[in-house]
Each structure stands twice: as structure tokens, then as C-alpha cells.
Amino acid sequence: MDAAGERGVKVLFHNDDIKTESAEIPTSVIGDLGGRAGMCPDFGNFATKSAEYSLAQLRLLAPYASNICHAKNGIADDGKFYADNFPASMKVMQAGGFQGVYSLEFEGLGAPLDGVKKLMKMTEDFLQS
């Protein structure tokens, strides 16, 4: 991390695995590294446990976010869709003063193009409200 700091590079962490990357793990590391590290949260990755748990995790990650790794409305796993509370996730980021980049990702069931269009509309609707 010293090399990153010397070069003015910020290292970002991404929450991808519910078993090994709960919010407490990257935020602890980020706290140890100070301003040289941050977070690019992934909405909905923890929705397999529950939408409430996923949202609670995002609240912990949001203060460290400089961009969103993937904004999505849930995740499909083994043929089942686990919904995330997308509007609430967007509100968490807005309340935290987030002004970064939203990267959208469709991980649902059904036609990917339809899913991406729906996700884009949800994002636009929220940002215009």
C-alpha cells in the first residue's frame, strides 16, 4: 500500500462473497490503511441472505465508497431470484453524499437485455426524483 500511496493511487475493495467479505472485513482493512483505500460496493450481492441484510451491509460500506462496483436489484442463484431493495440502496448512497459513478449489472433471471433496460430505468427514475 505504500507504493500506491507514493503514486497517488487509491486501492478499492469490492464485496463479492457473503462468506468471506462481509462489510466488517473490508471496512476494518480500509480503516487500517487510512485514505489510501476505499470501497466500490456491490448492491445486492448479499441479498441471498435477505434484502435487509444486504442493505445493512451497504450502510456500513457507503462511507468508504468512491464508485459503485455494481448497482443491481438482486441476484439470481441456483434458478431463484433474491431481490434487493434497490430504491433503498440508492437512498443510502444519496444520504451519504455519494457523487460517484454507478456501474449497473443485471444478475437476474430472464432476458438480459430486458433486465438491463429495467435496471437502467430504475436508476434514471431514482436519480431524477
* Span 118-127, pLDDT tens digits: 999 999 998 8
DSSP class of 34: G
Q: What is the pLDDT of residue 9?
A: 81
- Structurally, the chain folds into a number of domains equal to 1
| pLDDT above 90: residue 116 | yes
Question: What range defines the domain where residue 32 resides?
Answer: 2-128
Question: 19: how many CB neighbours lie within 10 A of its CB?
Answer: 5
Please tell me the total number of residues recorded for the chain in this structure: 129
Please write the tens of the pLDDT for every residue from 24-61. Answer: 999 998 988 877 899 999 888 888 899 999 999 999 99
Residue 30: strand, helix, or coil: helix
- Residue 4 reports pLDDT greater than 70: no
How confident is the prediction for the chain on average, in pLDDT? 88
Residues 6+ apart with CB under 8 A from 123: 71, 90, 102, 104
CATH number of domain containing 49: 3.20.20.150
